[in-house]
Structure 1
Amino acid sequence: MKNKIFKNSISALTLFVTIIGFAQNKSSNTISLDVYYSKIQNEKNPQIIDARGPEEFALNHINGAVNFNLESKDYAKQIAKLDKTRPVFTYSIGAGRSVWLADDLLKKGFKEAYSLEGGIANWIGNGNPFYVNSKSKLTLDEYNKIIADNNTVLVDIGSKYCAPCKKVKPVLETIKAEYGEKVKIVEIELEESPQVIADLKTVKVFPTLILYQNGQIIFKKEGFSDLKKDVDVILAQNN
C-alpha cells in the first residue's frame, strides 16, 4: 500500500514538473495566434481542446471547444473521439497544460497537434470570438472613464487561475502603499470582465500591466518581474 502511494506521488510530481517545464520552454508545436486562427478557419469542424480545468472552461472558452486534459478521468475516451488524421488545436490559460497535451497527442499518432501561444489570454485579448456565461463586470466605456478621470492609472490584467498573476498582487499592494492616491490601480480578471479584455485588443499573455498618464499609455509590461522597479523608473521620468 505504501509503495503504491509512493509511486502515485512520484507520478504526480513528475507530471507537475514536466508541465512546468513545458510552460517555461516554448514547444515547437506552439504557434502564434495568427497561424492558430488561420488553421482553425481552414477546418470545417475544427477539433479544439480547452486543456484547463472544468471550472475555468465553464466561465469562458473558445467557441466550439471541448474540455479535457491529461488529468481527466475520461482522458482515453476523449482521445478516442478525435480524428487522428486531422489537426487538433489545444489551449490553456497560458501554454502549459496545452503544450503537454499537444505533445501527448503526437506521441499517440495524431498527424498534427498545436498549442496556442499565450493561451486563452491571447485569444480573448485580441478580440477573437468566445463563449462567456456572464456579463462583464467592467465595460470598455467604464474603463475609458477611469483612465480619463485619473492622472496616473496602473492596470493589471490577468486571471485568478494564473499562477504568475497571483505574484503581482503583493507588488501592487507595495505600489499602493508608496504612491497612495497618486496612482489609481485597476485590477481586471478574465473571470469577471472578459469582454473589456477583448475590447482592448492589447493582451497577449497574463499578466499584462499597463501604465497610463494623462490618458496615454507610457508603459506596458508582460509578466511581473521587476514591476515595482519599472513603475518607479517610468513615473520618475514622467513627473
Structure 2
Amino acid sequence: MKITKILLLITAFIFASCNGQSEKTVEVLPSKTFSEKINTTPNVQLLDVRTPEEFSSEHLDKAVNINWKDSDFETQVAKYDKEKPVFVYCLSGGRSKKAAEKLNELGFTSVYELEGGITKWNADGFGKPLDKVIGMTKTEYKKLIKSDKKVLVDFYAEWCAPCQKMKSYITKMEQDSTSDVVVIRIDADKNKTLASEMKINQLPTLILYNPNQEEQWRYFGYISEENLRKQL
C-alpha cells in the first residue's frame, strides 16, 4: 500500500515537472534586448501586426506584415515554425500584446514582444532617422501651444482603443470656448517627426502646459473625464 502511494506521488511529481517545462511564455522585451535578439536569431520570425498602411510607411528590417485585425490572422501565422522564437511588435504595444497572447495560445513556444512598440523603439534611438519631416515641426508646435491660458495637448491615434474611448469628452473640452484651458488634439501617426522629437512613446499621451509654455503635467494611457478635469 505504501509503495503504491509512493509511486503515485512520484508519477504526479514527474507529470507536474514536465508540464511546467513545456509551459509556453510571452516575454516583453525593451528595445535594446529585442534588437539584440532579432539580430542574433538566424532566419528570424519577426511579425509586424499593424495595418498594411502603417507597415508601408515604416517598419523594422526583416519584418513581415500580418495585420492583427485581419480575420485570417491565425491562418497567416500558422505557416511559421512554432518551435522557433517569434518576435512581434506594433506601434505602441496594444495590438502586439493581444497578438503575442494569441501566438502563445496557438502553441508557439517562445514569443517575444517589443515593449512600447515601434514608437518606443524610435524614441530609444533604434529606428532609422526620418529622411523627411512628417507633419508638424517642433517650432510649429511651440507656436501652437502659445496661449495666455493653460494648454492641454492630447497625442492620440485612430487605432488606439483608449484614445477612442477618451475622444468624446476631450473633443467636447476642445470645443468649449468658455473654458480656461485650451485643448489641442494631435494625431501622432500624422506627426511622426514631432512625436519622435518629443519622445512620445505611449498613446494616448496628455501634456498640460502653463501659460509660460512650461510643462506642468504629463500622463500616459487612459484617464477618466473626472480625473482629467481634476488635473486641470
Could you say whether these structures have the same fold, taking a TM-score greater than 0.5 normalized by the shorter chain as the test?
yes
Flag as ranges the 4+ runs of structure 1 deviating above 6 A. Answer: 131-134
The secondary structure found in structure 2 opposite 1:154 is: strand
Q: Give the distance between the partners of 1:40 and 1:125, measured in 2 at CA.
A: 18
1:170 aligns with 2:168: yes
CA contact under 8 A between 1:69 and 1:75: conserved in structure 2?
no
CA contact under 8 A between 1:157 and 1:209: conserved in structure 2?
yes
Relative to its length, the structure with more helix (as a share) is: 1
Q: Give the distance between the partners of 1:155 and 1:127, measured in 2 at CA.
A: 24
The secondary structure found in structure 2 opposite 1:90 is: strand
Where in structure 2 are the equivalents of 1:12-23 lying within 5 Å?
A: none
| Structure 1 equivalent of residue 137 of structure 2 | 139
How far does the alpha carbon of each residue in 1:10-56 deviate from its partner, in whole angstroms, 9 at most, with x for none? xxxxxxxxxxxxxxxxx843333443344335447643211123233
The secondary structure found in structure 2 opposite 1:218 is: strand
Where in structure 2 are the equivalents of 1:94-173 lying within 5 Å?
A: 94-106=92-104, 110-129=108-127, 135-147=133-145, 149-151=146-148, 152-173=150-171
| Structure 1 equivalent of residue 201 of structure 2 | 204
Q: Give the distance between the partners of 2:123 and 2:156, measured in 1 at CA.
A: 10
> Which one is further off, 129-138 or 211-220?
129-138
Question: How far does residue 208 in structure 1 lie from its aligned partner after superposition?
Answer: 0.9
Q: Give the distance between the partners of 2:182 and 2:121, measured in 1 at CA.
A: 27
Structure 1: gaps spanning 5 or more residues: 1-26
Describe the shift of the 1:121–1:191 C-alpha distance in structure 2 as closer, same or farther (beyond 3 A). Answer: same
2:231 to 226, 231, 234: 234
The secondary structure found in structure 2 opposite 1:145 is: helix
Q: Matched residue pairs, number?
A: 205
Q: Give the distance between the partners of 1:54 and 1:177, measured in 2 at CA.
A: 33
Q: Identity over the aligned pairs, expressed in percent?
A: 31
Aligned residue identity for 1:205: Q
Q: Give the distance between the partners of 2:106 and 2:224, measured in 1 at CA.
A: 41
Q: Point out the structure with max Rg over C-alpha.
A: 2
| Structure 1 equivalent of residue 10 of structure 2 | none
Cα RMSD (Å) of the superposition?
Answer: 3.4
Aligned residue identity for 1:188: I
Aligned residue identity for 1:118: G
